[in-house]
């Protein structure tokens, strides 16, 4: 039984070990709780999760993990750029797995009518960021952009 679980975890995502290594490279210990938090994020890759939601998912299989530990480790994963911190339109702080550690953060289109959030994985900001360098001498390393408006469904209602 334990073996089956191990197989599933190992096979689930080839990046899993990469993340484990990253944690150790940064000088942090690879604790079971850290793996659990990271796996929760991997298992809900395309969601924008609050800490309470992450905690809820974790409790289903690992009720012994404490809330403060989830807070601590989400923060740690954010500092290591493994997860991104964002806030959409509802005032909650949310986290999601970084799509690619070297690429810029992707954009979110937020429908003001139904609340739906659309992910835009293309960057599309290159020219605007170039202009910031020439106009202000500001070198952009990353960005975070939200666009508010109406999604296709709500626009046609």
Partner DNA sequence: ATTATACTGATAATAATTATTAATTAGCTA
Partner DNA sequence: TAGCTAATTAATAATTATTATCAGTATAAT
The site for its own copies (CB under 8 A) is made up of 87, 109, 111-112, 118, 120, 124-125, 128-129, 131-132, 136-152, 155
For DNA, which stretch binds (CB under 7 A), given 4-12, 29-37, 123-131, 137-145? 29-37
Minimum distance, C-beta of residue 48 to DNA, in the bound complex (Å): 13
Q: Rounded distance, CA 45 to CA 127, Å?
A: 29
Minimum distance, C-beta of residue 81 to DNA, in the bound complex (Å): 17
Q: Which does 151 bind (CB under 5 to 8 A by kind): its own copies, DNA, none?
A: its own copies
Minimum distance, C-beta of residue 88 to its own copies, in the bound complex (Å): 10
Nearer to DNA, 5 or 124 (CB): 5
Q: 3-class SS at 3?
A: helix
Q: Which does 128 bind (CB under 5 to 8 A by kind): DNA, its own copies, none?
A: its own copies
Query: Is 50 a binder of DNA (CB under 7 A)?
Result: yes
Burial 120-148 (b: 16+ CB within 10 A, else e): eeeeebeeebeeeeeeeeeeeeeeeeeee
Q: Which does 30 bind (CB under 5 to 8 A by kind): its own copies, DNA, none?
A: DNA
Q: 3-class SS at 68?
A: helix
Q: Which does 88 bind (CB under 5 to 8 A by kind): DNA, its own copies, none?
A: none
Q: 3-class SS at 15?
A: coil
Query: Is 31 a binder of DNA (CB under 7 A)?
Result: yes
Q: Rounded distance, CA 54 to CA 70, Å?
A: 8
Cβ-Cβ contacts under 8 Å for 72 (sequence gap 6 or more): none
Query: Is 22 a binder of DNA (CB under 7 A)?
Result: no
Q: Rounded distance, CA 28 to CA 11, Å?
A: 24
């Amino acid at each position: 039984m334990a073996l089956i679980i191990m197989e599933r975890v190992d096979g689930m995502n080839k990046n899993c070990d990469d993340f484990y290594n990253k944690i150790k490279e940064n000088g942090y210990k690879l604790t079971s709780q850290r793996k659990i938090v990271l796996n929760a994020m991997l298992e809900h890759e395309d969601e924008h999760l609050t800490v309470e939601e992450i905690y809820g998912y974790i409790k289903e299989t690992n009720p012994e993990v404490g809330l403060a530990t989830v807070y601590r480790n989400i923060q740690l994963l954010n500092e290591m750029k493994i997860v991104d911190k964002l806030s959409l339109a509802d005032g909650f702080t949310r986290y999601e797995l970084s799509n690619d550690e070297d690429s810029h953060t992707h954009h979110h289109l937020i429908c003001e009518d139904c609340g739906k959030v659309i992910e835009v994985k293309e960057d599309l900001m290159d020219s605007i960021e170039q202009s910031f360098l020439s106009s202000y001498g500001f070198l952009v390393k990353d960005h975070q952009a939200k666009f508010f408006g109406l999604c296709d469904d709500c626009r046609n209602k």
